[in-house]
A and B are shown apart, each in its own frame.
Chain A
């Protein structure tokens, strides 16, 4: 069964600095998608970034980028120039193909990011 592991329950970063959140996953699939979601105090889940496994190039969205290592099954999120508004819970997610041919999404346990002024 596919699993997603986030080993850092909590991280802190100084405003304007860079922080990296870790995520590893386990799968036997060769083609899949990985995601990072942000959940601010409002609890509304927001997509941060998405990576397709067959693409070698790491995805980037403004200050957010990923380091995707397919062989190591690692998918870390780097936040550059951290801002106070980045403080949130971050979830790593994997899109899994089910036996019925549809998809389901498996989430990690989350990393709470604190941004210090």
Chain B
């Protein structure tokens, strides 16, 4: 089974803190994604990566950055956390082959106070 692991399920951070959300997948997938989930807004793509050190902006990249130094690991960084970044963050991965599905981690609940 594909396993996408997000290191933290629940985090509480203060405004202005630098926050790291870590994600690891064990299936050698080329693509990795970070989404944000908010009620009524569904899943919105923040950033994605199709190879080591390669990244592309999604629909809502402002206030976020990412890092992919190894194929299996994709980190989401909030340089200076703000209260409007309180949300559920979902990491996902997929292989590059056409048609394959996207596999999700269990999510990280981030509260910024």
What's the minimum C-beta distance from B39 to chain A, rounded to whole angstroms? Answer: 9
Asked if A25 lies at the interface with its beta carbon under 8 angstroms from chain B, I say: no
Size category of the B interface is 20 to 34
Residues of chain B in range 65-112 having any CB-CB distance to chain A below 8 Å: 88, 90, 92, 94, 96, 98-99, 101-102, 104, 106-107
For residue A62, which residues in chain B have a CB less than 8 angstroms away from its CB? none
Report yes or no: A100 in contact with B40, Cβ–Cβ below 8 A.
Answer: no
Size of the chain A interface, CB-CB below 8 angstroms? 25
Q: Given A50-B99, A109-B41, A43 and B106 touching (CB < 8 A)? A: yes
Q: Given A43-B107, A44-B104, A107-B42, A100 and B31 touching (CB < 8 A)? A: no
Report yes or no: B45 in contact with A106, Cβ–Cβ below 8 A.
Answer: yes
For residue A45, which residues in chain B have a CB less than 8 angstroms away from its CB? 90, 92, 104
Report yes or no: B48 in contact with A104, Cβ–Cβ below 8 A.
Answer: yes
Q: Provide a sorted-by-A list of 22 A–B residue pairs whose CB atoms are within 8 angstroms.
A: A6-B42, A33-B99, A35-B101, A44-B104, A45-B90, A47-B101, A50-B99, A91-B42, A91-B43, A93-B102, A102-B96, A103-B96, A104-B31, A104-B48, A105-B33, A105-B92, A105-B94, A105-B102, A107-B35, A107-B43, A108-B42, A109-B40
